[in-house]
C-alpha cells in the first residue's frame, strides 16, 4: 500500500513531491508520457520568481526533481491508466498493474494542441511555441504569427503586440470563435493583422534551423502563399490529460478536473493540482502553488485518518 501516488512530473507534481517527501509520505511520482510537463519543452523562463536572469525550463524541472529526490521522493517512468476507489483506499492502474494507495494527487497537466505538421516537435523552441507569455519577449521588432481563432489566440496576439513589429492572426475561418471583447481587443490593435480562411501547411526554416516563414493554404480557394514570420505561436487550445480518470473524477465539459474545498476532488483521497484543473492561469508558478496545496491537503487527510 503506497501512502501517496502523484501523477505527473511538471511543476505541480514535482512541488507536491517536494512537500510530500518532506512530510515523510514517501511519494511515488509517475512521470507520465511527457516527463517534466510543458516546461520541459520551453526555453528561457523569465517569470518564475527567484531567477532574476531567468532559467531554462528543462533546468528548472531538473532542479525541482533533484529537490524532491533529495527528500526521498521516488520516480517511475510510468503512466496512470485508471483509477478505482475502494473501501478506505484507492487503486491506481500503473501501466498494466493495479497498485493500492491511500492518496492520489492528479497533476497530469494539459497538453498544447499542435497542428501536426512535419518537423513540428523539432522546431519547438526554434521559432515555434505554444506560449506567448514564455517566449514573446524573444521576438522584439520582428513579425510573428498566432494560429487560432479562440480567446487564447486573441489574448496571445494582443500580448505579442508589446514586442513584435507585426502580429498576423491566422484563422481557418473568417469569423473568430473568441468572445467579442477579446476579439475586438485584438482586431483593433493596429499591429494585429488577421489572415482569414487560412491554415499553415509547412514551417519554413533558415540555414540555422530557425523558423523564417510559414506556408499557408487558403481554406476557401485552396491557394497557397508564404508568410514571413520569425515565430509561430500555436494557440489552438489545450487538452487536459484526464482521459484515464473519465467517469470516476468529476470534470467540466472541456475535461478539466473540478475541485471542491481546495484541491479535493469528488473522490476521497484524490487531489488535483496544476493545469489539469486550471483553464484560467496556466502558469508554472500557479501550478507549483497548487502542487504545494494538494500535498498539504493530502497530508491533512491522512493525518485525520491516523
Question: How many residues make contact with ligand NAP (CB under 6 A)?
Answer: 16
The alpha-helical segments, DSSP class H, found in the chain are 11-22, 57-70, 120-123, 132-135, 151-160, 180-187, 284-304
Q: β-strands 192-195, 166-170: how paired?
A: parallel
For residue 212, state whether it binds ligand NAP (rule: CB under 6 A).
no
Looking at beta carbons only, is 54 or 237 nearer to ligand NAP? 237
Span near ligand NAP by CB under 6 A; candidates 23-31, 92-100, 149-157, 217-225: 149-157
Looking at beta carbons only, is 3 or 177 nearer to ligand NAP? 177
Residues from 173 through 192 that contact ligand NAP (CB under 6 A):
173, 177
CB of 42 to ligand NAP, least distance (A): 17
CA distance linking residue 27 with residue 222, whole number of Å: 54
What are the residues whose beta carbons fall under 8 Å from the beta carbon of 83, sequence distance 6 or more? Answer: 90, 91, 92, 93, 104, 244, 245, 248, 249, 267, 270
Active site residues: 131, 134-135
For residue 285, state whether it binds ligand NAP (rule: CB under 6 A).
no
Residue in 196, 279, 296, 302 binding ligand NAP, rule: CB under 6 A:
279
Residues from 229 through 258 that contact ligand NAP (CB under 6 A):
236-237
For residue 275, state whether it binds ligand NAP (rule: CB under 6 A).
no
Nine cell digits for residue 171: 484563422
Across-strand partners of 213? Answer: 204, 228
Residue in 39, 90, 92, 153 binding ligand NAP, rule: CB under 6 A:
153
Nine cell digits for residue 92: 491506481
Amino acid at each position: 500500500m503506497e501512502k501517496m501516488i502523484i501523477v505527473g512530473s511538471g511543476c505541480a507534481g514535482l512541488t507536491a513531491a517536494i512537500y510530500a517527501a518532506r512530510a515523510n509520505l514517501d511519494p511515488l511520482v509517475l512521470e507520465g508520457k511527457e516527463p517534466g510537463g510543458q516546461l520541459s519543452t520551453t526555453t528561457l523562463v523569465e517569470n518564475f520568481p527567484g531567477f532574476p536572469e531567468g532559467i531554462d525550463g528543462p533546468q528548472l524541472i531538473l532542479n525541482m526533481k533533484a529537490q524532491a529526490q533529495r527528500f526521498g521522493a521516488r520516480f517511475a517512468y510510468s503512466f496512470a491508466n485508471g483509477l478505482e476507489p475502494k473501501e478506505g483506499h484507492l487503486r491506481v492502474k500503473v501501466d498494466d498493474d493495479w497498485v493500492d494507495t491511500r492518496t492520489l494527487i492528479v497533476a497530469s497537466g494539459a497538453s498544447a494542441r499542435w497542428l501536426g505538421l512535419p518537423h513540428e516537435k523539432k522546431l519547438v523552441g526554434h521559432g515555434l511555441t505554444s506560449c506567448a507569455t514564455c517566449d514573446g519577449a524573444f521576438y522584439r521588432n520582428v513579425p510573428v504569427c498566432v494560429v487560432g481563432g479562440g480567446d487564447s489566440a486573441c489574448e496571445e496576439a494582443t500580448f505579442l503586440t508589446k514586442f513584435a513589429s507585426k502580429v498576423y492572426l491566422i484563422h481557418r475561418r473568417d469569423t473568430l470563435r473568441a468572445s467579442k471583447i477579446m476579439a475586438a481587443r485584438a482586431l483593433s490593435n493596429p499591429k494585429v493583422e488577421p489572415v482569414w480562411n487560412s491554415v499553415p501547411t509547412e514551417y519554413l526554416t533558415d540555414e540555422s534551423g530557425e523558423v523564417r516563414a510559414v506556408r499557408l493554404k487558403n481554406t476557401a480557394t485552396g491557394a497557397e502563399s508564404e508568410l514571413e514570420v520569425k515565430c509561430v505561436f500555436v494557440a489552438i487550445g489545450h487538452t487536459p490529460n484526464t482521459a484515464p480518470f473519465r467517469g470516476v473524477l468529476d470534470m467540466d465539459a472541456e475535461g478539466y478536473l473540478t475541485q471542491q474545498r481546495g484541491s479535493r476532488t469528488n473522490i476521497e483521497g484524490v487531489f488535483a493540482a496544476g493545469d489539469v484543473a486550471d483553464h484560467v492561469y496556466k502558469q508554472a508558478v500557479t501550478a507549483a502553488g497548487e502542487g504545494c496545496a494538494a500535498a498539504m491537503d493530502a497530508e491533512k487527510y491522512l493525518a485525520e485518518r491516523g
